[in-house]
Structure 1
Amino acid sequence: MNRKISLAIVDDHPIVVQGLQMILTNNSDINVTGCFTSGSDFIEFLKNNEVDIVLLDIMLPDSNGMDVCKEIKSVSPNTCVLALSNHSERSIVMQMLQNGASGYLLKNVSVQELTNCIYEALNGEVAFSKAVKEILARPSANDLKGIPQLTKREKEVLQLIAEGKTTALMAKHLFVSPLTIETHRRNLLQKFEVKNVASLIKIAADQGLLKSIG
C-alpha cells in the first residue's frame, strides 16, 4: 500500500489500548486512527471514516464482539476485522469467522505475530495467532462425533428453538400441532446426545448448523 494503513483499536481496557498503540506507533506503515472502548462508538466513527483494519475485543461493555463484527462488515465491507481476545473457545473463534472476521488472535500474541497477522488479513488471508491455530487443529468432541443426520423439519425446529420460540409459536409457524413439535424436540435431544436445549444449541452452533440470528 502506498499510503499508511489506517488501523483502529476497540477494547475497553485502557492498558491494552495503550500497549497496542505503543507497539503499532513504531511501525511506519501503520497509522492508528482511533481507539474506542465501545462497539457503538466505533461504528459511528466508521460511518464517516475509512478504516483498513480494526483490532476488536470480544467482550465490550455495550455489546459482544461477534455482533459488532457483523455490524462493521455491514457498514464497511472492506474493513478487515481481527479479533483480539482472551477467549480461546473454538465456538467463539468460528462464530467470529462466520460473522466476517479476517482472523482471530489471543492476547498472549507476540508483537511479531500481531504485525504478521495484520499484513496477512490485509492481503486477503485468514490470520490466526499460533495459539489459535493449535486450538483449531485439535478436534473437539463434537467434531469426533460427527454431525447428526437431520430431516428438513428437524432443521426447521432446531433453528426456531435457537431463536427462542415457544412450542406454541413453533407449532403455529410450521402449521403442526404442539405435540408434533415436542416430538421433534425430543428427537433432536436424542440425536445430539444432550439433555437440555442449551447444550443442543451450543453443539448445533459449534457444528455450523444454525443460521445467524439477528
Structure 2
Amino acid sequence: MQMTPECPVRIALLDDHEFVLQGLTVQLERLPHCRVVGAFAQSRGLIDALDRLEVDLILLDYALSEGDADGLPLIRRLRRRHADKRILVVSGRDDVVTVNMILRAGAHGFFPKRQGARDIERAIQRVMRGHVYLPDKLADELGQTELASLTPREWEVLRCFLDGMSVSDIAAKFKRSLKTVSAQKSAAFRKLGIQSNAQLFKLQGTLMEQGGDEGRD
C-alpha cells in the first residue's frame, strides 16, 4: 500500500493503558500518512469494531489486562478473521523467542516499547509495503538463532521440566534414558536460543501460550 496524505493508512489501536493509548493516538495523528480510525482498551472492542470499520493496520499491545484476550491467541484470531489487515505488535517483552513466536502467529512486525517513538512511522511504512518490520538488532539476533519448531518429545521434556520434574523424573516417566532426555533438553535450548534454566523459566509464559502444537517429529 502506498501511504500518502491523500490516502493515509487507517489504523486501529489496542492498548489497555489509557495514557499510552491517548499518547499514541496523538502521535500518529500528527503523521501526514496515518489516520487513527479507532482506539480500544480491550480486545473485545477491537474485534467487534473490525467488522464495521475500514482498517488497514492493527497496532496492538502484546500483553493486556488480566482476563482480556491477548498475546498469541489474539494475533491468530485476528489473522483468521481479518487476513487482509496488517498487524504490528508493540511490547516491552523483546526477547528473541517471544518475537519469533509473535511473527509465527501471523504478525507482520514487532516494535519494542523501549525503541524511540520517532521510529514508529518507519515501522508502519515497512509493514504496509508488505515487509516484516523488526529493529535491526532483533533482526540480527533472529537471523543468528536456530528457531526451528520443537518436536513433540522436546516439548514434553520442557513442559515436565517447567513443572518441576528433574531429568531423572522425566526419563522414568517416559521410559527414556537419561542421555536421551538430556539430549532432547539440549536440542530444545539450542532451538530457542537459550543456554540456562533461568532463561527457560523467564520464557515459561510464552512457551505455555504457544502450547507446542507446532512441533513435529
TM-score for both structures, normalised by structure 1: 0.69
Q: Deviations over 1:65-89 (max 9, x none)?
A: 2221111111100111111111121
CA shift, 1:211, in A, is: 3.6
Q: Distance in 2 between matches of 1:95 and 1:105?
A: 14
Residue by residue, what CA displacement relative to the aligned partner does 1:8-60 show, whole Å, maximum 9, x if unpaired? 11111111111111111112322211111122221121133231111111111
Query: Number of matched residues?
Result: 183
Q: Are the counterparts in 1 of residues 13 and 21 from structure 2 also a CA contact under 8 Å?
A: yes
Over 3 Å counting, the alpha-carbon distance change for 1:63 and 1:212 in structure 2 is: farther
RMSD (CA atoms):
3.6
* Unpaired stretches in structure 1, ≥5 consecutive residues: 165-177
Partner letter of residue 37 of structure 1? A
* Contact 2:157 2:181 (8 Å CA) reproduced: no
Q: Does the alignment pair 1:183 with 2:176?
A: yes
* Unmatched segments (≥5 aa) in structure 2: 161-170, 190-195
In 2 relative to 1, CA 188–25 (structure 1 residues): closer, same or farther, beyond 3 Å?
Answer: same
- After superposition, the Cα gap between the structure-2 partners of 1:184 and 1:12, relative to the gap in structure 1 and judged at 3 Å, is farther
Residue aligning to 1:103? 109
- The corresponding residue for 1:33 is 37
Question: Following TM superposition, by how much is the alpha carbon of 1:112 offset from its aligned partner in structure 2, in angstroms?
Answer: 3.2
Q: CA deviation digits over 1:88-140, x for unaligned, max 9?
A: 211110011001111111113334310011011010011123xxx21342479
* Equivalence for 2:17: 13
Partner residue, 1:168 = none
Report SS of the residue matched to 2:107: coil
Q: 2:153 corresponds to which residue?
A: 157
Which of these residues, 135, 140, 161, is aligned with residue 138 of structure 2? 135
Identify which of 55, 60, 64 aligns with 2:64. 60
Tell whether 2:132 aligns with 1:126.
yes
Q: Which moved more, 1:40-49 or 1:70-79?
A: 40-49
Contact 1:80 1:122 in 2 (8 A): yes
Q: TM-score, normalised by structure 2?
A: 0.69
Distance 2:177 2:92 in 1: 37
Q: Could you report, residue by residue, the CA deviation over 1:162-191 in whole angstroms, capped at 9, with x for unpaired residues?
A: 789xxxxxxxxxxxxx97833279723433
2:75 alignment partner in structure 1: 69
Aligned-residue offset at 1:7: 0.1
Change (3 A) 1:184 1:41: farther
Q: 1:156 Cα deviation (Å)?
A: 3.9
Give the match's secondary structure for 1:192: helix
Instruction: Give the whole-Å Cα distance in 1 for the aligned partners of 2:62 and 2:106.
Output: 14
Distance in 2 between the 1:104 and 1:147 partners?
A: 17
- Tell me how far 1:159 sits from its aligned partner: 5.0
Task: Determine the C-alpha separation between the residues in 1 that align with 2:178 and 2:104.
Answer: 26
Q: Which amino acid aligns with 1:25?
A: E
